[in-house]
A and B are shown apart, each in its own frame.
Chain A
Amino acid sequence: MKRSAILALGVASLLWAAAGSAGADEVVIAAQYPLSGPMASYSGPFLREGTEIAIQRINETQMLGKGRTLKVIIEDNAGDRNQAISLMNRFATSDNALAVLGVYGSYLSLPAAPVANELKIPFLAIAASPAIVQAGPWSFILIEQPNDSMKLLAQYAAERLHVKTAALVFDRANDASVRLKDSFAKYLKERGGSVVSEDGISAQDTNFAPIATKIASEKIDALFLESVPSVAGNFLVQVRQAGLSPDVKLLASGQVSSPVFRSIAGAAAEGILYPADYVADMSGEENKYFADEYRKRSHKDPDQNAAWAYTGMLLLAHAIHDAGPGADRAKVRDAMAKLTNVEVPLGAGKFSYDKDRMPNFDLIMLQVVKGVPQIVK
């Protein structure tokens, strides 16, 4: 009698504990970012901050519905492809997450996308490569196509800055970087411009003196730069030191919107123009909440990475809401594909997926003036 009473008590407490820890109306999603390793300096901590602010926002406004809360498991993939794949497996099988956000960048997201499709878990990659979407119906991307941003940049360079000749520098080991560079070259040529030189660099390189000297000696109207923020900043310092003319216009992809780029490049970044998904000064209620909260926590303006993570969480929350209470992964996936005009901090403030599950929001053009990015009209 005594033994069965103890057993009953034990079972009851286990059930209670299980109900308490999972939370009857708590939805679990997972995120993985490069919180350590070489990519961490410009990505991981910003992504985590954006994610945490989004969770606070989602739960404060009861975005999932009354009484339903969102919980996120954030893990470090260290910028390593194998770890990204392992975490994707763990999130889908052990943690029973309803969806996954992150990985960060096409380099890490591309190998993780087939795994997400195999395990049938919705995966929103903070990346731009269409190959991630092509991996299957379970994978989505958050960032607009290279074509869109590069078309805007090339158009601005040719028509407003009258750029006729350009040197291109890009990250040769990164699929997305090569696409961005090719897109810029294509659109510049369509507008009568020409490419004088193309030089691939690597995220591990530190000595840029040979390429910098070569570019400084070329007759060019503009230098286009596409690499991770820390490397782009370092390259710009070295190309300035090599004697690049101050008349040469500096153009870049949105990667340079990170404060890390400006802190490394310093005065060398002055005047650089780039299309961006985000700037802290944009109007809109969603951006106001996000930017104010970020400043309160970090005592500085949020960057593009934080805005991406915040937006990603909002999109997942909207999809979970639209899928209805008790929805499974398939319903969340279907709801993701139908998201339209979701208010977000990115671009002009409205996010939609088109029929091919490609993201749409209007980009903005920024220029660094006296060390601060400003919107170019």
Chain B
Amino acid sequence: MLAQQLLNGVVVGAVYALFSLGLTLVFGMHRILNLAHGAVFMWGALIGYFAVTLAGLPLWAAFIVAVFGAGLVSVALELCVFRPLRRHQGDEFGTIVASIGANLILMQLAQQATNAQTLRFPFGIFPILFYDIAGLRVSLQQLVILGAVAVIVVALLAFLFKTSLGSEARAVAVDERTSMLLGVNPGKVYLTSFLIAGMLAGAAGVILGVAFNSVSYVMGDAVMLQAFVVIVLGGLGSVTGAVLAGILIGMIQTLTTAYISTELSDAVVFGLLFVVLLIRPDGFFAGLHTEYRVA
């Protein structure tokens, strides 16, 4: 059973990592702690749900619509909240408070859209198939989740480190003023990073909404808490660190629930955060693959 539980942990952790990547990307590049990232994740799941139930799209098409929809919500946040604050030279605290406000607005809009109900993707929307792999009962859903997360992470790394726009983004992250002198348009970089962060959150939202059979306007809150632990553990701005930390958190949470107590899973995760902050304030995986840091 231990191996089966580890697999459960890796799957849920991979989705935490996907979600956390967007948060760590924006923070690493622009030093913006976007507390509305959970609401973007939730809107991704909602858009996916409505694309299936109202527009009648198949799940794969709804997933693409949701990913781009959440990306646009994130871009709207940058244009309506963060950019005006930067223009007025708002400080970090003001930015955090503004993101809390944006989070509440997005949640209340979702509350109205869903009539405060927990929604479910139609039963059987994802084929319920299982495979016996090395003695493990692995579902098609788990395989698709792991495959999708792997593809998305590789695509993100390729964008950041193999494209000119990715180079510009990293240049802005290192020094915005110098990069401007070199001809980089920071506004475009901000929009791009918010778009990518939103798309990652949207992908995570649909995946968790389908896997856990639950979409609600409060679903972003719990994942945001996990994401804080993931990005602190992984090292702020570290892509590799976020992926490894996400998977580690998923496994710890799963094993605690299965072998100790459901009540203690959050306590164990946040206890770990406290210990890491004490002994390695830069993150447990901070020194790993520094070439895959955005800043």
Co-assembled chains A and B: yes
Q: Give the B-binding residues of A (Cβ under 8 A).
A: 36-38, 40-41, 78, 172, 199-202, 204-207, 209-211, 213-214, 217, 230, 234, 237-238, 241-243, 264, 266-267
The reply on B179 being an interface residue by CB < 8 A is no
Residue pair B212, A234 in contact (C-beta under 8 Å):
yes
Known: A213-B1, A214-B1. A243 touches B130 (CB 8 A): yes
Residue pair A172, B118 in contact (C-beta under 8 Å):
no
The reply on B189 being an interface residue by CB < 8 A is no
Per-residue contact bits, chain B 90-134, to A (CB 8 Å; 1 contact, 0 not): 000000000000000000000000011110100110001010000
Residue pair B116, A37 in contact (C-beta under 8 Å):
yes
Question: Within the assembled complex, what's the spacing in Å between the Cα atoms of A286 and B8?
Answer: 50
Known: A206-B214, A207-B212. A36 touches B219 (CB 8 A): no
Nearest chain B residue, comparing its CB with the CB of A243: B137
Residue pair B213, A210 in contact (C-beta under 8 Å):
no
Task: Beyond A38-B218, A210-B258, A267-B123, list 8 extra A-B contacts (CB 8 Å).
Answer: A172-B262, A206-B208, A206-B214, A210-B254, A213-B1, A213-B5, A213-B8, A214-B5
Complex A-B: 10 CB contacts under 8 Å:
A200-B261, A200-B263, A201-B262, A205-B262, A206-B219, A213-B1, A213-B5, A214-B258, A264-B120, A266-B123
Kindly identify which residue among A210, A213, A230 contacts B118, using a CB–CB cutoff of 8 Å. A230
| Chain B residues positioned under 8 Å from A230 (CB to CB) | 118
Residue pair A38, B8 in contact (C-beta under 8 Å):
no
Nearest chain A residue, comparing its CB with the CB of B123: A266
**Min CB gap A289→B, angstroms:** 30
Question: Within the assembled complex, what's the spacing in Å between the Cα atoms of A217 and B135?
Answer: 13
| Chain A residues positioned under 8 Å from B254 (CB to CB) | 209-210
| Chain B residues positioned under 8 Å from A206 (CB to CB) | 208, 212-214, 219
Nearest chain A residue, comparing its CB with the CB of B124: A266
Residue pair A172, B139 in contact (C-beta under 8 Å):
no
Nearest chain A residue, comparing its CB with the CB of B139: A241
Residue pair A211, B258 in contact (C-beta under 8 Å):
yes
Nearest chain A residue, comparing its CB with the CB of B116: A36
Per-residue contact bits, chain B 211-225, to A (CB 8 Å; 1 contact, 0 not): 111101011001000
**Min CB gap A300→B, angstroms:** 17
The reply on B290 being an interface residue by CB < 8 A is no
The reply on B167 being an interface residue by CB < 8 A is no
Kindly identify which residue among B12, B128, B137 contacts A207, using a CB–CB cutoff of 8 Å. B12
Question: Within the assembled complex, what's the spacing in Å between the Cα atoms of A210 and B115?
Answer: 30
The reply on B257 being an interface residue by CB < 8 A is yes
| Chain A residues positioned under 8 Å from B117 (CB to CB) | 40-41
| Chain B residues positioned under 8 Å from A199 (CB to CB) | 262
| Chain A residues positioned under 8 Å from B178 (CB to CB) | none
| Chain B residues positioned under 8 Å from A202 (CB to CB) | 262
| Chain B residues positioned under 8 Å from A264 (CB to CB) | 120, 123, 213
Question: Within the assembled complex, what's the spacing in Å between the Cα atoms of A218 and B130?
Answer: 19
Question: Within the assembled complex, what's the spacing in Å between the Cα atoms of A141 and B229?
Answer: 44
Kindly identify which residue among A172, A210, A243 contacts B5, using a CB–CB cutoff of 8 Å. A210
Kindly identify which residue among A38, A172, A201, A213 contacts B258, using a CB–CB cutoff of 8 Å. A213
The reply on B4 being an interface residue by CB < 8 A is yes
Question: Within the assembled complex, what's the spacing in Å between the Cα atoms of A217 and B5?
Answer: 11
**Min CB gap B4→A, angstroms:** 5
Residue pair B139, A210 in contact (C-beta under 8 Å):
no
Per-residue contact bits, chain B 43-62, to A (CB 8 Å; 1 contact, 0 not): 00000000000000000000
**Nearest 3 interchain pairs by C-beta:** A206-B212, A210-B257, A210-B258
Question: Within the assembled complex, what's the spacing in Å between the Cα atoms of A267 and B130?
Answer: 17
Question: Within the assembled complex, what's the spacing in Å between the Cα atoms of A214 and B256?
Answer: 12
Question: Within the assembled complex, what's the spacing in Å between the Cα atoms of A237 and B139?
Answer: 13
**Min CB gap B215→A, angstroms:** 9
| Chain A residues positioned under 8 Å from B128 (CB to CB) | 241
Residue pair A210, B8 in contact (C-beta under 8 Å):
yes
Question: Within the assembled complex, what's the spacing in Å between the Cα atoms of A266 and B11?
Answer: 24
Residue pair B213, A238 in contact (C-beta under 8 Å):
yes
Residue pair B258, A40 in contact (C-beta under 8 Å):
no
**Min CB gap B21→A, angstroms:** 20
Kindly identify which residue among A172, A217, A237, A267 contacts B213, using a CB–CB cutoff of 8 Å. A237
**Min CB gap A177→B, angstroms:** 14
Known: A172-B263, A206-B214. A211 touches B116 (CB 8 A): no
Nearest chain B residue, comparing its CB with the CB of A267: B123
Question: Within the assembled complex, what's the spacing in Å between the Cα atoms of A239 and B158?
Answer: 38
Most chain B beta-carbon neighbours within 10 Å: one of A36, A217, A237, A241: A241
Most chain A beta-carbon neighbours within 10 Å: one of B208, B216, B262: B262
Residue pair B214, A217 in contact (C-beta under 8 Å):
no
Nearest chain A residue, comparing its CB with the CB of B4: A213
Q: Which of B254-271 contact A (CB under 8 A)?
A: 254-255, 257-258, 261-263
Known: A206-B219, A210-B257, A241-B139. A38 touches B4 (CB 8 A): no
| Chain A residues positioned under 8 Å from B130 (CB to CB) | 243
Kindly identify which residue among B11, B218, B257 contacts A211, using a CB–CB cutoff of 8 Å. B257
Nearest chain B residue, comparing its CB with the CB of A203: B118
Nearest chain A residue, comparing its CB with the CB of B212: A206
Question: Within the assembled complex, what's the spacing in Å between the Cα atoms of A204 and B261?
Answer: 16
Question: Within the assembled complex, what's the spacing in Å between the Cα atoms of A132 and B218?
Answer: 30
Q: Which of B163-194 contact A (CB under 8 A)?
A: none
Residue pair B120, A217 in contact (C-beta under 8 Å):
no
Nearest chain A residue, comparing its CB with the CB of B255: A210
Most chain B beta-carbon neighbours within 10 Å: one of A206, A214, A217, A234: A206
| Chain B residues positioned under 8 Å from A40 (CB to CB) | 115-117
Nearest chain A residue, comparing its CB with the CB of B250: A207
Question: Within the assembled complex, what's the spacing in Å between the Cα atoms of A359 and B20?
Answer: 52
Question: Within the assembled complex, what's the spacing in Å between the Cα atoms of A275 and B269?
Answer: 39
| Chain B residues positioned under 8 Å from A238 (CB to CB) | 212-213
**Min CB gap B132→A, angstroms:** 10
Kindly identify which residue among A38, A205, A210 contacts B116, using a CB–CB cutoff of 8 Å. A38
Question: Within the assembled complex, what's the spacing in Å between the Cα atoms of A89 and B155?
Answer: 58
Question: Within the assembled complex, what's the spacing in Å between the Cα atoms of A176 and B9?
Answer: 31
Nearest chain A residue, comparing its CB with the CB of B128: A241
Question: Within the assembled complex, what's the spacing in Å between the Cα atoms of A38 and B218?
Answer: 10
| Chain B residues positioned under 8 Å from A172 (CB to CB) | 262-263
Residue pair A38, B216 in contact (C-beta under 8 Å):
yes
